[in-house]
Structure 1
């Protein structure tokens, strides 16, 4: 589900536009836990918003900071940090998103 990104910086808007172009507009949902940060956005697996990718362009001349989160089964922590990456390449970011969504969705589905 895409939402208006008027409160986001042009680099973040362009990031989402490029990811939609690589995948599709129904491959991920925008889950913006960072509404006050124009340089950050979250995208989540459409079937499980616990499988989350945080993307930021803050303090970067170019490129992206990407942090991966997955559902935690501990009540005190709703998410596990599954890794963080820096990349100047959108194709690398797309590959990270693809692998995170698919590996964690398979893992989460197997635990049901």
Structure 2
């Protein structure tokens, strides 16, 4: 009889949204840590961009749950939201105005998710 090997890598499609939210809450950073990362990115340390965007995953998943996104669309909506955050962050890095990343990130993520739902 064939034995099943345990999975070493968990893909988001394999988990329930509530389980993903629990996992993402462990990655969440405090506001001070996010602000410090943002300042480091603004000073030229582009290696911190992925960490800052990954820390926003909890907010993304909560918005996906709030908007009632189907399980089939969750991965594409998550990717679209991360792309939207990345674009906002890149605009902020090059801007001389006061940072709006922390004020508008939830709105940008929501708009990215809604765009993705509209196009599919």
Normalising by structure 1, report the TM-score.
0.36
| Structure whose residues are more often strand by fraction | 1
Task: Name the larger-Rg structure.
Answer: 2
Normalising by structure 2, report the TM-score.
0.35
